[in-house]
Each structure stands twice: as C-alpha cells, then as structure tokens.
Amino acid sequence: MSAASPIHPTAALILASASARRRDLLAQVGIIPSAIIPADIDETPLPAEAPRAHALRLAREKAAKIASPKIASSESYVLAADTVVGVGRRILPKTESRDQAETCLRLMSGRGHRVYTGLCVIAPDGRQLSKVSETRVKMKRLSDGELSRYLDGGEWKGKAGGYAIQGSAEQFIISIIGSYSGVVGLPLYETLTALTGLGFKQVASS
C-alpha cells in the first residue's frame, strides 16, 4: 500500500506538541504540520479530577494557549492533545524516575487500565471541537525480572504510566479495546473527524 500524499504546508496547521510520536502519526495519514509550537502549561491535576476530564482539560488549555493571537496566525488551525493513563480514578504520572515508573508498572501489572487521549482543534474563525479517545488496556502480570529489565532500558522516561505501547512494553500487553493510535498519543480517527468537521482541507503536494 502506498503512503498517503503529504499535506502541503500552506494548509496551515499548528501542532501544539513537541511529541515526535504525534508528528509521526499525522504523517501516516499525510498531514505535515506547518509549525510545531509546544504549549507550556501547568499539567497538575485538579483536586478529585478524573483521568478522562484531566486529559480533555489539558488538550483544551494547550490548544487555547497556542491559538492566542499573539502566537498563531489568523489562518491557522491548532491541534493539541494530551494522553493520560488511569487506574480507576487514579491518574498515573508521566514518569520522571525509575522508582516512579516501577510504582506505576506494578500497579498495572496483571490488571486492566485505561488510556485517555484528549484532543482539541481550534479553527481560524475560533470554532472548536474537542474529544476524548478511551482505550482499555490489559497488561500481563510482570515478573521481577521482566520489570527490572524493562526499567534498565529507560523507555519509561517521560511516558504516561511509565510505558509506550509502541516500544518494548508492547510485549506485556495482553489486549487493547479501542484506539491503538490513541494509546500511542493521537487517535487518528477522532483527529481527522475533528479537523474535517472544522473545514481543514487536505491539499496534496505536487
């Protein structure tokens, strides 16, 4: 199957994320952002905030910050997303230490968890669409040896819940119900639906 034709940069789309995974996912469907402008916001969960609500709020806040007239041009679409791993109502962090990653993985070991990716698109005229992709993921029970080897590899750094499904941690996943691309970081079906719903035109390059 041939790759999708890339979108010409004049179809102005700002991706409000520095995530290489999100750029790669957009490229899979032929969309190349005209600019990458990460949104620096406070990602601390609100008191009693559920994982789903947290993912949606962060996506909306990131999009709104970059869509500000001080940053985005009046002809730009802005796309923002945020991925949150939840166990029940507990929000797992983007792990910054080995101990933190081990705590998250032991919590998910042998049980199910949910991955929520909130996305928000703001059109040049200010119209906005936001959605949440929810995927149920079941992880095998990890042995101490498996956990130690995984942690030694360092893939957990900066990852929500301490793992990336497209990395070596995929060997631990028994099943997923929902969007695989949503777990990676950007649910493609929902993203394309939001973009086209707001009038974003895919202009193939020559």
The residue from 24, 40, 42, 82 that is catalytic is 82
82 among known catalytic residues: yes
CA-wise closest residue to 56 among 73, 75, 81, 77: 81
Active-site residue set: 82
